[in-house]
């Protein structure tokens, strides 16, 4: 992020990970934020804290979100009060988390030398469920949340995140007001298949609305759309990345620029992974989000480079901060062609003109002239010949006038500015455009340079000096860089694809360096007075150009290796070549590992003892959304189980009149359930994708004829908890939608059915979860999870030979474990690794669900017949790249005939020669017998 030119990072904190047990706040191990704050300080990044308690919100028709329950812990389901309201029990429940997390943030805020500069106490407090009948918006509630942070020592300004520019809690509204008003901007609705952008819009009037609701504060967008969410059964994030690509981001960023935004927070820059049951029910394991940085941390998406161009331009354009945007875009004013829209942002230290298609979806190129006001009068561009400017399809540009670049001034420029830097002996300006575009620049030179300097330029650049003014025109070459040198002013004319390889990196006590070539440039420093040290990453043999080296430098190192040979090019820059020689990557064949197997549903066996299980004896339930229709509650949350599978065992004495068993289960979107009677499989609901109907619950009736009167039978029911629903509607209590059995009854040919006495389990210990290192959500209720067999070093002597590739021949749940070693040169190479499951097959025959555990961490939730995810990146640190690793696969076969995994591969992306710091293996315990495990 810092390498891309961003100056701030925001973060959210899921309350559900920090207070899994009511009253017990844990922020150690992987949940310790101190390393995050330390890294931000070392990189010079400011920090926006967004800790909630509620951290996700409603957007558009569906949800732009990821975290189970919107970050709210599952035990809130037992409250009487409505979440995100002033109901006393909800507010009381937030106190422990809010005071602890705010105290941590307070210790890292700007006032005491930290990097936190803004604090967001709520998220999307903009819309309520009308039928609830309470006050909304409630300024007292918002004030309470703000007071929690202030009382914990937070003194930085508060910012909010209104879903639209509605003015909720804006400065001046009184109780509950924030210091800086912010609103979201997510104009591309959730539809990754919409490559034509039909389901997208481009905000118009954002500046006008801001001036209406909060004219005294900076125009802030705390959540600006940097990607798009996908859902179970969706097209996958590769498709999403095609829709939310560099074109869409370029248009959206420049549209925001046109509205005078000065606080712009990209959501997401990096989405990552919903490991360990962290995700909400509609989302799968990957939260790649089609973000600029992919889930596997690669930065090969063009949108990353577009963000880099935009961020670096803003860094060298301080005049934008004092410029005033026009409240409306214009058509037919600056450009005669009404198919082109122009928004001007006018300032005394430079003016800016955002040019785009009036129909932003258009992919048709347009040629045009533009007339711009400058300090030298109105200029109709092109000035000297008939070659017109070009606007490519789905493109947007920023033209500048009277734009200062050190001692010179760009009277106008139609090429876009990546950066400019003023060095000891020259000022370098890097301009770029699309290949084959014609561009012009008119330079107002330093008065002392107008007659007595040499003007040197590339073939293909047309130059016309006119006293203090210097005119240049060129056609962008896709194969070579052009340039113009006029005394101490050096202009580089670069193709867009080529400028993606340029990096601007800070250098203490000197202007930033510009480095051209590497895959990534992390930092630069000077040692021994004359040695320049560059930390950079490479994914190919690369010609490296270093621009702006201080004159005192006589030696250069790249990744601690001395540059033995270099040359100085015609522009005075150092050039050298980095030789890329990738290592041989040896990865294990997972099909040939020594796999071991254990039955992970012993509950259906006649010998199984459930005497240690919690009895399902809760007779009251506080959810108004879906009160239980059972004699006692069979909702997991009433017994402290909030993640992963729920297992129910119900005993009854048959009357002999039973013909079928009806059961209504609910586990969230695309959930599944299975039922056994004693050891006999009764049936499964496999789950399906149907966004037009509720798939979070299902009503099944299974035949069970032939029961003998007076005999005891046991029903075993498995319900997959896909994560808790979000809570975007204030007071809606959507996160209280239960998980478990909602209703059941016997169908009989005479009289009522028998009474059932139920027991229930989820993860071992429930809210008093066993594995504190991996947190409260990492485990579910399957036998192997409760025993901890997914952890490193399980008791393989208790297992049988068997692999997931053989699978099981009947419905049930099996757990497989294997070990393998890695010996990868990760000290010098960044090697992203991925586990690959088979392609999705919609055929339910042989359908299964699988969980992937890597060294005890759940890093994959795979549904063979729904998908879309088949590739599961697992980062170094979870994987031990130089040592032993344990992999666990939990296989749930849903249908007669059982299931097996046809393939499972571990594969690597292109190794990157890296300058990063060493990655340590995350410390977490291995297997040991668990007290009380059943």
* pLDDT for position 59: 41
667 φ/ψ sector (left φ>0, alpha ψ -120 to 50, else beta): alpha
Residue 414 DSSP code: -
The domain at 590-597+782-913 falls in which architecture? Answer: Sandwich (2.60)
Distances (CA, A) of 854 to 252, 278, 508: 39, 16, 41
Closest CA to 920 of 868, 883, 865, 872: 883
Could you list the beta-strand ranges (E) of 288-407: 324-325, 330-331, 340-346, 351-357, 366-368, 370-374, 377-381, 389-391, 396-405
For residue 38 the two structure tokens come to 């330390």
Q: What is the mean pLDDT of residues 599-618?
A: 98
* pLDDT for position 453: 72
Burial 621-651 (b: 16+ CB within 10 A, else e): bbbeebebebebbbbbbbbbbbbbbbbbbbe
Q: Which of 56-60, 315-319, 455-459, 662-666 has the lowest mean pLDDT?
A: 56-60
| 3-state SS assignment for residue 501 | coil
| 3-state SS assignment for residue 908 | strand
pLDDT band at 79 (very low <50, low <70, confident <90, very high): very high
Give the CB-side neighbour count of residue 755, counting CA atoms within 13 A: 3
pLDDT at residue 77 greater than cutoff 60: yes
* Residue with token string 């291995």: 926
* pLDDT for position 578: 97
Give the CA angle between residues 914, 917, 918 to the nearest 5°. 100
| Separation CA 77–CA 71 (nearest Å) | 13
pLDDT at residue 451 greater than cutoff 60: no
Residue 701: Cβ within 10 Å count: 14
The answer to whether domain 320-578 has CATH 3.10.150.10 is no
For residue 411 the two structure tokens come to 């009277």
Give the predicted TM-score (pTM) of the model: 0.96
pLDDT (tens digit per residue) in 559-569: 999 998 999 99
pLDDT band at 216 (very low <50, low <70, confident <90, very high): very high
* pLDDT for position 450: 57
DSSP string, 340-356: EEEEEEE-TT-EEEEEE
Q: Which of 121-135, 729-743, 782-796, 838-852 has the lowest mean pLDDT?
A: 121-135
The whole-angstrom distance between residue 623's C-alpha and the CA centroid of its chain comes to: 31
pLDDT band at 57 (very low <50, low <70, confident <90, very high): low
pLDDT band at 37 (very low <50, low <70, confident <90, very high): very high
For residue 831 the two structure tokens come to 């090697």
Contact status, residue 641 vs residue 763, Cβ threshold 8 Å: yes
Distances (CA, A) of 325 to 352, 371, 377, 770: 9, 18, 21, 56
pLDDT band at 63 (very low <50, low <70, confident <90, very high): very low
Cα radius of gyration rounded to whole Å, the chain: 31
Closest CA to 66 of 270, 298, 302, 307: 270
For residue 234 the two structure tokens come to 């969706």
- Give the containing element (helix H, strand E) for 661: strand 658-666
Distances (CA, A) of 180 to 8, 213, 232, 467, 669: 16, 11, 36, 48, 37
Q: Dihedral of CA 121/123/126/132: which sign?
A: negative
Q: Dihedral of CA 326/332/335/339: which sign?
A: positive
Q: Which of 55-59, 273-277, 627-631, 866-870 has the lowest mean pLDDT?
A: 55-59
Q: Which residue ranges make up each domain of the chain?
A: 8-273+281-295, 320-578, 590-597+782-913, 602-761
| 3-state SS assignment for residue 258 | helix
Closest CA to 354 of 386, 388, 313, 387: 313
Contact status, residue 656 vs residue 707, Cβ threshold 8 Å: yes
pLDDT band at 64 (very low <50, low <70, confident <90, very high): very low
| Separation CA 646–CA 761 (nearest Å) | 6
pLDDT (tens digit per residue) in 680-701: 999 999 999 988 887 789 999 9
* pLDDT for position 155: 99
* pLDDT for position 131: 64
For residue 616 the two structure tokens come to 């399902």
Contact status, residue 179 vs residue 157, Cβ threshold 8 Å: yes
Q: Dihedral of CA 340/341/343/344: which sign?
A: positive
Contact status, residue 233 vs residue 242, Cβ threshold 8 Å: no
Contact status, residue 530 vs residue 552, Cβ threshold 8 Å: yes
Give the CA angle between residues 155, 10, 3 to the nearest 5°. 125
* pLDDT for position 140: 98
Asked if omega into 268 is within 30° of 0 (cis), the reply is: yes
* pLDDT for position 596: 99
pLDDT (tens digit per residue) in 322-366: 999 999 999 999 999 999 999 999 999 999 999 999 999 999 999
pLDDT at residue 890 greater than cutoff 70: yes
* pLDDT for position 626: 85
% residues pLDDT > 70 (the chain): 98
CATH code, 8-273+281-295: 3.20.20.80
pLDDT band at 463 (very low <50, low <70, confident <90, very high): very high
For the chain, give the mean pLDDT.
Answer: 96
* pLDDT for position 62: 38
For residue 98 the two structure tokens come to 């809010």
Q: Which of 116-130, 391-405, 879-893 has the lowest mean pLDDT?
A: 116-130
Enumerate the β-bridge partners of residue 381.
Answer: 370
The whole-angstrom distance between residue 373's C-alpha and the CA centroid of its chain comes to: 42
* pLDDT for position 645: 99
* pLDDT for position 190: 85
For residue 125 the two structure tokens come to 């407090």
Contact status, residue 776 vs residue 21, Cβ threshold 8 Å: yes
The whole-angstrom distance between residue 210's C-alpha and the CA centroid of its chain comes to: 27
For residue 650 the two structure tokens come to 């119900």
Q: Is-same-fold flag (8-273+281-295; 320-578)? A: no
pLDDT at residue 446 greater than cutoff 90: no
Contact status, residue 914 vs residue 881, Cβ threshold 8 Å: no
Q: Which residues contact 452 (CB under 8 A, 6 or more apart)?
A: none
pLDDT at residue 61 greater than cutoff 90: no
- Assign domain 602-761 one CATH number from 3.40.190.10, 3.40.1180.10, 2.60.120.260, 2.20.70.10: 2.60.120.260
Contact status, residue 231 vs residue 865, Cβ threshold 8 Å: no
* pLDDT for position 454: 86
């Amino acid at each position: 992020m810092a390498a891309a030119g961003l100056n701030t990072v925001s973060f959210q904190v899921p309350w559900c990970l920090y207070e899994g047990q009511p009253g017990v706040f844990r922020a150690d191990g992987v949940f310790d934020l101190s390393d995050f704050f330390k890294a931000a300080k070392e990189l010079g990044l400011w920090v926006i804290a967004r800790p909630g308690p509620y951290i996700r919100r409603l957007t558009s028709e569906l949800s732009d979100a990821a975290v189970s329950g919107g970050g709210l812990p599952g035990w809130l389901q037992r409250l009487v009060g409505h979440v995100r309201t002033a109901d006393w029990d909800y507010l009381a429940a937030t106190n422990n988390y809010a005071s602890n997390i705010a105290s941590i943030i307070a210790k890292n805020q700007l006032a005491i030398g930290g990097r936190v500069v803004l604090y967001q106490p709520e998220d999307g407090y903009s819309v309520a469920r009308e039928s609830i009948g309470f006050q909304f918006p409630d300024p007292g509630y918002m004030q309470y949340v703000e007071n929690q942070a202030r009382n914990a020592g937070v003194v930085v300004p508060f910012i909010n995140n209104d879903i639209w520019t509605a003015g909720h809690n804006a400065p001046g509204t009184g109780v509950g007001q924030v210091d800086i008003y912010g609103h979201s901007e997510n104009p591309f609705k959730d539809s990754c298949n919409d490559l034509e952008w039909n389901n997208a819009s481009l905000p118009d009037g954002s500046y006008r609305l801001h001036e209406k609701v909060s004219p005294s504060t900076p125009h802030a967008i705390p959540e600006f759309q940097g990607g798009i969410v996908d859902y179970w059964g969706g097209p996958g994030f590769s498709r999403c990345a095609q829709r939310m690509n560099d074109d869409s981001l370029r248009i959206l960023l420049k549209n925001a620029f046109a509205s005078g935004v000065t606080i712009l927070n990209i959501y997401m820059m990096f989405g990552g992974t919903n490991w360990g049951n962290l995700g909400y029910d509609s989302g799968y394991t990957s939260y790649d989000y089609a973000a600029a940085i992919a889930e596997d941390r690669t930065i090969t998406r063009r949108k990353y480079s577009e963000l880099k161009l935009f961020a670096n331009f803003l860094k060298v354009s301080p005049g934008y901060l004092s410029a005033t945007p026009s409240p409306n875009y214009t058509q037919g004013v600056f450009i005669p062609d009404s198919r082109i829209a122009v928004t001007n942002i006018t300032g005394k230290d430079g003016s800016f003109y955002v040019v785009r298609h009036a129909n932003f979806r258009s992919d048709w190129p347009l040629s045009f002239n533009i007339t711009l006001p400058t300090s030298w009068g109105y200029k109709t561009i092109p000035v000297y010949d008939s070659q017109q400017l070009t606007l490519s399809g789905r493109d947007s540009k920023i033209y500048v006038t009277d734009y200062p670049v050190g001692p010179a001034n760009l009277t106008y420029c139609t090429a876009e500015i990546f950066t400019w830097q003023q060095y000891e002996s020259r000022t370098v300006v890097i301009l770029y455009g699309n290949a084959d575009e014609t561009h012009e620049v008119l330079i107002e030179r330093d008065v002392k340079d107008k007659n007595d300097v040499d003007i040197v330029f590339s073939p293909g650049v047309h130059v016309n000096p006119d006293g203090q003014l210097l005119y240049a025109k060129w056609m962008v070459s896709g194969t070579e860089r052009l340039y113009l040198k006029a005394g101490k002013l050096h202009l580089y004319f670069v193709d867009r694809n080529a400028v993606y390889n340029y990096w601007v990196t800070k250098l203490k006590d000197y202007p930033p360096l510009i480095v051209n070539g590497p895959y990534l440039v992390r930092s630069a420093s000077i040692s021994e007075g004359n040695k320049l040290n560059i930390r950079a990453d490479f994914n190919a043999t690369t010609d490296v150009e270093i621009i702006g080296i201080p004159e005192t430098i006589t030696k250069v190192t790249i990744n601690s290796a001395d540059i033995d040979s270099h040359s100085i090019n015609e522009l005075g820059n150092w050039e050298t070549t980095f030789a890329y020689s990738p290592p041989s990557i040896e990865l294990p064949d997972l099909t040939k590992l020594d796999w071991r197997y254990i039955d992970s549903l012993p509950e259906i066996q006649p010998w199984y003892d459930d005497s240690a299980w919690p009895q399902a004896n809760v007779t009251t339930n506080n959810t108004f959304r879906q009160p239980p229709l059972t004699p006692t509650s069979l909702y997991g949350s009433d017994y402290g189980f909030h993640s992963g599978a729920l297992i129910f065992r119900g005993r009854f004495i048959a009357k002999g009149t039973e013909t079928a068993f009806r059961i209504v289960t609910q586990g969230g979107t695309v959930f599944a359930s299975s039922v056994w009677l004693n050891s006999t499989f009764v049936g499964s609901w496999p789950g399906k994708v149907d966004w037009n109907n509720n798939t979070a619950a299902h009503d099944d009736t299974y035949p069970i004829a032939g029961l003998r009167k007076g005999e005891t039978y046991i029903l075993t029911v498995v319900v997959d908890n896909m994560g808790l629903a979000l809570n975007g509607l204030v007071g809606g209590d959507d996160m209280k939608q239960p998980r478990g059995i909602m209703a059941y009854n016997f169908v009989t040919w005479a009289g009522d059915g028998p009474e059932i006495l139920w027991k229930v389990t989820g993860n071992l210990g429930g809210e008093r979860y066993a594995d504190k290192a991996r947190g409260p959500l990492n485990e579910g209720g399957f036998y192997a999870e409760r025993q901890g067999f997914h952890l490193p070093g399980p008791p393989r002597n208790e297992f049988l030979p068997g692999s997931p590739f053989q699978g099981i021949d009947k419905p049930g749940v099996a757990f497989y474990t294997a070990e393998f070693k890695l010996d990868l040169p990760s000290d010098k190479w960044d090697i992203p690794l991925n586990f690959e499951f088979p392609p999705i097959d919609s055929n339910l025959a042989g359908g299964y669900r699988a969980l992937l555990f890597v060294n005890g961490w759940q890093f994959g939730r795979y549904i063979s017949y729904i998908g879309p995810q088949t590739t599961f990146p697992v980062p170094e640190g979870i994987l031990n790249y130089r040592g032993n690793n344990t992999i666990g696969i939990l296989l749930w076969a849903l249908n007669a005939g059982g299931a097996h995994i046809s393939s499972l591969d571990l594969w690597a992306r292109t190794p990157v020669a890296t300058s990063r710091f060493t990655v340590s293996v995350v410390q977490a315990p291995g297997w040991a017998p668990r007290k009380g495990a059943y």
